[in-house]
Structure 1
């Protein structure tokens, strides 16, 4: 395929970094991607020109409001929603806690909520904590530890007329499994439940259509998709209007502003537009939405080529256990594994020092997953996440680094 990898890499200044005399290979994208230069410059330029708070009569205030409104239009195009449904905040986790306190106000003892065992705990604990406070029953869609997918066979039994809320992750930030959100959402809607989706791990890799998924609440973080540390929530307008978030008294009581608690990270929000624009620049089309969809198609095709090579190589390494769903299950280009005779921290440290390859270790807040696999006490996972700026040469360095360590333990 004709993916413009050299042009892409030129837009990420961090790729110029070296460590131990070698160019760094960044494979820690699931924890936070590198930042596109236009997003970096947007925040800097905003502060250099003069920032301001909102609702003022002077230019810097008006410009700030205009740029925030523009960012929301870009996010709306990114997820196929509406700008008036987009709220910004520090990160997806914080936004979920804010939203949970609001949505749970209608829950009462005897109600039920449904979560899953294949989640970052940001999409478990905000809802679980509220349920516990209100004596609401918490159920879980179980993880099939053999296939590393959600077992949906009992979904109809888990959902009842008492189910008020369902939360599911779009994709596992640890093992890459892409969940069947449509099936869960359709069943939840039939039961009359509100559906929330954690899209954090999905948005760097594929197009997320909120309408096609049929969900009410969607949460994500822009620093996972080439932008600054900004979180976001997109909530369907009719539901958003009904929510009563905790906030200070004079703050706006209309959506989406009522979920934006306190003064926002304005300089960060300036980079949101540029992060979305970067994806659109990889595609073609007459509208922003068309270019975004096309851009994601290019990203998916390119990343799939890289990850197929990596998976094939890792499967052949003796003493390495790869945690992944079957080939028939769609996955992000994220691989999780362990190496016999070494803790994950020992391995990632050696990869850093010996190969200048940056990969992460731990449970990555997918604690329930690591717990069910029985590996929490021994350090959980080694994780490598491929991103839009990685190259096949880097994949070979990564694989060669693994083989060198495995053969010289």
Structure 2
């Protein structure tokens, strides 16, 4: 479905993001760096400031600011529960997705033994690879890799029955590639994992801003994302199935709680950041219709996704028409996030990004973006990695055309 700016309330959206008022070298900044961290919606900024202005406090106090902190955390967990279709008591917050995954991996590892196996993929961000590899090494476990098809830029699932077998205890897979945008077909992976009794840990950091998530429908056991990728603050989020969370034994201080989800939330949390999570999620809901916040989130994300994909098509088509540009993308029939990876012949990716910023006030990023195994398989590290342009609902057709013209000028 194509959605144009005449159908999408782009100005109303842009008014909610103060960062869009920024100029650089006398020009309005065009932010295409959303995959590395989106701009923050004003309602989240206001919630963070309000929490701090009213007087923050730690938990379990006998005074109002402590009670309010507990209410803030509870409200944000309820919002996350609606975003991911989980229960609020299955939600834990942390510094970031990477830190949470390391803690979860260390805790789960206590249940595994030498000779057990885990499965990771060649397409994933290393935050959903290395924590599991370190755990496996500590426990004497074996590691198997789901390979990437370097021509199709999708996972090669042909050998799935052999890779995921009776020895497999956990399968870690990303829902979408933060580098090339491929949305992973996880259904056969989950089905095979369930058949052999393995857990599924899914990295939804890149997927969460661009597609409705449903942990129950998708059959995921451990789902991780980060609010700073969907218009909120820097707070990591883990949603762990209750039956697993009950048995999880994270490393923690002796006096800290033994009950979940608190036992995973080591130390004092980022309370002001947590205050900004609910408004960020309600930004999605504001575009949707329905009787519940969950239904409004899902419906709202469908509208945002349609608009983002229309912009992405405009950008991909334009880049594809430039002779010196090489696009790294899956086939047209493969679902993708609005994240475009490319290179420009004759100019290093970092230099392209510098020119875009200094001459055109367009903010892009370059590198391997921690999808380093995929970068190695595609042999792009020696040429400086990818240039990555990510689209968000606050981007415009004019900004896309600015980027195309700027690249063409190279």
TM-score range, shorter chain: over 0.9
2:119 corresponds to 1:114:
yes
Q: 2:224 is paired with a residue of what secondary structure?
A: strand
Unaligned runs of 5+ in 2: none
Which residue number corresponds to residue 275 of structure 1?
A: 280
Q: Give the counterpart of 1:315 among 313, 320, 341.
A: 320
Q: 2:202 is paired with a residue of what secondary structure?
A: strand
Structure 1 residue 41 displacement after superposition: 0.8
Structure 1 residue 377 displacement after superposition: 2.2
2:188 corresponds to 1:192:
no
Q: Give the counterpart of 2:335 among 330, 337, 341.
A: 330
2:151 corresponds to 1:143:
no
Which residue number corresponds to residue 36 of structure 1?
A: 41
How many angstroms apart in 2 are the aligned matches of 1:236 and 1:205?
23
Which residue number corresponds to residue 387 of structure 1?
A: 392
2:230 corresponds to 1:225:
yes
Unaligned runs of 5+ in 1: none
Which residue number corresponds to residue 62 of structure 2?
A: 57
How many angstroms apart in 1 are the aligned matches of 2:326 and 2:409?
16
Per-residue Cα deviation, 1:358-389 (whole angstroms, up to 9, x for no partner): 00000000000110111112211100000010
How many angstroms apart in 1 are the aligned matches of 2:123 and 2:263?
31
How many angstroms apart in 1 are the aligned matches of 2:260 and 2:9?
40
Q: Using structure 1 for the length normalisation, give the TM-score.
A: 0.98
Which residue number corresponds to residue 178 of structure 2?
A: 173
Per-residue Cα deviation, 1:305-333 (whole angstroms, up to 9, x for no partner): 10111111111111111000000100000
How many angstroms apart in 2 are the aligned matches of 1:92 and 1:252?
21
Which residue number corresponds to residue 300 of structure 1?
A: 305
2:28 corresponds to 1:23:
yes
How many angstroms apart in 1 are the aligned matches of 2:379 and 2:224?
29
How many angstroms apart in 2 are the aligned matches of 1:237 and 1:17?
44
Which residue number corresponds to residue 382 of structure 2?
A: 377
2:349 corresponds to 1:344:
yes
How many angstroms apart in 2 are the aligned matches of 1:254 and 1:152?
38
2:158 corresponds to 1:164:
no
Which residue number corresponds to residue 95 of structure 2?
A: 90
Which residue number corresponds to residue 255 of structure 1?
A: 260
The 4+ residue runs of structure 1 with deviation greater than 4 A are none
Which residue number corresponds to residue 234 of structure 1?
A: 239
How many angstroms apart in 2 are the aligned matches of 1:16 and 1:181?
39
Q: Give the counterpart of 1:75 among 71, 75, 80.
A: 80
Q: CA RMSD in A?
A: 0.6
Per-residue Cα deviation, 1:182-232 (whole angstroms, up to 9, x for no partner): 221111011110100000000111101111110100000000000000001
Q: 1:160 is paired with a residue of what secondary structure?
A: coil
Q: 1:321 is paired with a residue of what secondary structure?
A: strand
Q: Give the counterpart of 2:131 among 126, 133, 150.
A: 126
Q: Give the counterpart of 1:9 among 6, 14, 32.
A: 14
Which residue number corresponds to residue 409 of structure 2?
A: 404
Q: 2:267 is paired with a residue of what secondary structure?
A: coil
Q: Give the counterpart of 2:220 among 198, 212, 215.
A: 215
Q: Give the counterpart of 1:183 among 182, 188, 193.
A: 188
How many angstroms apart in 2 are the aligned matches of 1:390 and 1:266?
30
